[in-house]
Structure 1
């Protein structure tokens, strides 16, 4: 239940960021940086009376059905929650802040802020095993069958939208859209990597048993024990190796500092961990 609640909070945070960035930064400048939001922005630019949120909802139904059939109902359930929540948020924002205008005349700055916010949100959502719907479902399908990273898959799926944006909205807006798609794919990959980064910790200490107990009982992680011989004294050493997230590492460092301030500790960055207790995808 704790894990499900945590994932739900992450999904809510991610979807809010996507809706916020789209409505306040991308839509007012008619920057169609991919996705159903991009398609909706293009249609809205031609037919202003058609609400962006409503257009997005219509497209989501078709692509959601495709996602359920190809990827599965669990992914589909999470995606429909995220996609319709984004559409509903944008509809709500349209009611609260109608006829929103650009914050400034500098489109590039607004593009960067909008894509940064949306990319972070999409990365968070993808990391929960869902998607924000629309062309992101196509990206998830590409990722599943080709193992191309999510960010690059989004780039492949959205490049068509940016080409249409160039034709409908003009070369300048189209070029901004292409830049936005490239930035978006990069940010998504960076966010996913940062959310899944761990630390590999190696510890040599005279209080090895206490440290092992702390890792297992307090941090709820396991560890691997190696035996090595010290080069200076040629004495037998016990090396404890474990993989932790940042929060767990801070707790372990504080504990070891109080227990044995002469302990030898090395820490390495790990970008991906597969197996029991971590990702189940191998």
Structure 2
């Protein structure tokens, strides 16, 4: 019976993951469409990537924005579906279809504000939340990312650098299509969206690794576990210059706990060596289970 239950749970898990991903992509597309059609587009402010090109073409031709978003992104999906993986490709195609639908649905709705600065700030934030949500659950809403992944295989630049290169020209083109002040507002909206994406993808509790070398390693480790509720690992090290044996305290904390950790180390051993670095992802263990005192 237990074996049957385990097999059923294993079968349900992929379906649950698919459902969660689909809901996240729908919500992300909804947020992005809101940022575009309710804030940015009515005030002639554009986003970067294929979406930015679609906004300008829609303005020049008078055709719906959703139509251009779908048609311009479609070739990149077929071009990169083998290289980017089946799951990511399907998630991206689904997101683009939903985004195209929502932008067409929201187009008749009047802008929330005519204040260009407010529209830029809130449009960038809402758009960033949408894009970040989709990225966090393994999809994308713009073909520029797929193109950058393909180009990245043949050039010595990161995906982020390639996307930034494209967006410099796309956002600059807004100056010719609309006006130069609108181009500058577009850059501002892009920066706000970019930073918002970081917060959504990584979270306010972004993980960090901490390495502490101290003769009072045991005491520091005990206090970290007691006051931060974080597990620690003691590693064996050797000083390259002196040849002395050293104990290294390793732990994973959140960004909000970094100041507390520094205070703990300073109180116990002001001469201790402390190094803190960002971590892209943490899985397993009991990292999420904490008891802060």
Q: TM-score, normalised by structure 2?
A: 0.64
Distance 2:158 2:93 in 1: 23
**1:12 match:** 26
Distance 1:10 1:146 in 2: 33
**1:211 match:** none
- Cα displacement (A) at 1:28: 0.7
- Cα displacement (A) at 1:274: 5.5
- Cα displacement (A) at 1:111: 0.8
SS of 1:188 mapped into structure 2? helix
Unmatched 5+ residue regions in structure 1?
A: 209-213, 216-221, 228-238, 250-267
Instruction: Identify the match of residue 54 of structure 1 among 47, 67, 71.
Output: 67
The 3 A distance-change label for structure 1 pair 118 and 205 is same
- Is residue 2:196 matched to residue 1:183? no
The 3 A distance-change label for structure 1 pair 153 and 14 is farther
- Cα displacement (A) at 1:160: 2.1
Q: CA-to-partner distance for each residue in 1:108-160, whole Å, 9 max, x for gaps?
A: 2101111111112212222223211232333454677767374x554333222
**1:133 match:** 142
SS of 1:161 mapped into structure 2? helix
Alignment length (residue pairs): 241
The answer as to whether partners of 1:79 and 1:132 remain within 8 angstroms in 2 is yes
- Is residue 2:46 matched to residue 1:36? no
The 3 A distance-change label for structure 1 pair 189 and 273 is closer
Q: CA-to-partner distance for each residue in 1:208-250, whole Å, 9 max, x for gaps?
A: 9xxxxx99xxxxxx975679xxxxxxxxxxx99765789xx9x
- Cα displacement (A) at 1:8: 3.2
SS of 1:102 mapped into structure 2? coil
Distance 2:19 2:152 in 1: 26
The 3 A distance-change label for structure 1 pair 51 and 224 is same
Q: TM-score, normalised by structure 1?
A: 0.66
Instruction: Identify the match of residue 148 of structure 1 among 158, 163, 177.
Output: 158
Instruction: Identify the match of residue 174 of structure 1 among 183, 200, 205.
Output: 183
1:192-271 aligned at under 5 Å gives the runs 192-194=201-203, 197-198=206-207, 224=233, 243=252, 271=278
Distance 1:188 1:79 in 2: 17
Unmatched 5+ residue regions in structure 2?
A: 1-12, 213-219, 237-247, 258-274, 286-293
